[in-house]
Chain A
């Protein structure tokens, strides 16, 4: 079946640098995308979302970019901090509520102090 995938399984960045985590999705019908952060032994934590009618959305220190033409999603974290170390998942779903979410393979972000 269709799935969401990531290019990089592990990303190491220096504290204070910006991080970019990429994701490729394959289901062209998906119109709602979410980034989750998962710390070791915990459940995923919502970071930011974006709808297909947008190409960019900003939050606090995070920005999500969506390129529907190439089915690409990215998460940018500004001034990466040690507390940002975790596994990041992109996820896709359909808008309209109560839809199941398909997760990508995940990227482990390691912040070097």
Chain B
């Protein structure tokens, strides 16, 4: 099946620093990727839609200047948490629709393994 990877798998940083998380589609091209945040014992909340070659679309309440998204190629999207604070500590997960499944409709989304961020 389709594989989506994330790097790093976990990161610990000091408050005020920036952290970059990478999301890669390994065996398919992804013009669209999605970024989610998940707090302990809660569901996944969509943060933004990453579009290759254009600006990301952010969900209501998500600060675009704090969570910078870059989709520079058809296999890579990055999420940068700028000036991270302890409240940004969370599990960040990306997903990508695979156009080679679901009859080419790109409806089936495959998720990365997640990146756990701890801000001290």
Contacts and interface: CB of A to CB of B under 8 A. Distances in A.
Contact of B107 (A36, A44, A89, A99): A99
Contacts of A44: 44, 93, 95, 111
Given A97-B97, A101-B34, A46 B43 contact: no
Contacts, number: 63
A45 B111 contact: yes
A49 B99 CA distance: 16
B92 to A, nearest CB: 10
A44 B45 CA distance: 13
The interface residues of chain B, by DSSP majority, are classed as: strand
Contacts of B95: 43-44, 101
Contact of B114 (A43, A95, A99, A101): A43
Interface in B1-55: 1, 4, 6, 31-32, 34, 36, 42-46, 49
Nearest to B51: A98
B111 A43 contact: yes
Interface of B: 1, 4, 6, 31-32, 34, 36, 42-46, 49, 93, 95, 97, 99, 102, 105-114, 116
